[in-house]
Amino acid sequence: MQLDFKDFIAKISLQLELPLPGSLAHEPLRAVPADLTKLKFDHKLPPKPGSVLILLYEENGIIKFPLTKRATYKGAHSGQISLPGGKKETGETDIETALRECEEEIGVKQSDISIVGRLSDFFVIPSNFLVAPIVGYTSGKPQFKPDPIEVDVIINASISMLLGNEAIKEKEITVANEFKLIAPHFEIEGEVVWGATAMMLNEFRMVAHEALKLN
**Domain positions in the chain:** 5-26+42-163+199-211
Angle between helices 195-211 and 5-15 (to 10 degrees): 100
Q: What are phi and psi of 54, to 5 degrees?
A: -95, 105
Superfamily for domain range 5-26+42-163+199-211: Nucleoside Triphosphate Pyrophosphohydrolase (3.90.79.10)
Task: State yes or no: pLDDT of 177 exceeds 80.
Answer: no
Phi-psi region at 100: left, alpha or beta (left = phi > 0; alpha = psi -120 to 50): alpha
Q: 105 to each of 70, 78, 110, 149, 162, how far by Cα in Å?
A: 10, 15, 12, 9, 23
pLDDT digits (tens, 9 = 90+) for 89-132: 999 999 999 999 999 999 999 999 999 999 999 999 888 899 99
What Å distances lie between residue 186 and 70, 171, 199, CA to CA? 17, 10, 10
Of 76-80, 190-194, 197-201, the one with minimum mean pLDDT is 76-80
Question: How many whole angstroms separate alpha carbon 52 and alpha carbon 84?
Answer: 6
From 63, 53, 44, select the one nearest 160 (Cα to Cα): 63
CA distance 58 to 5: 7
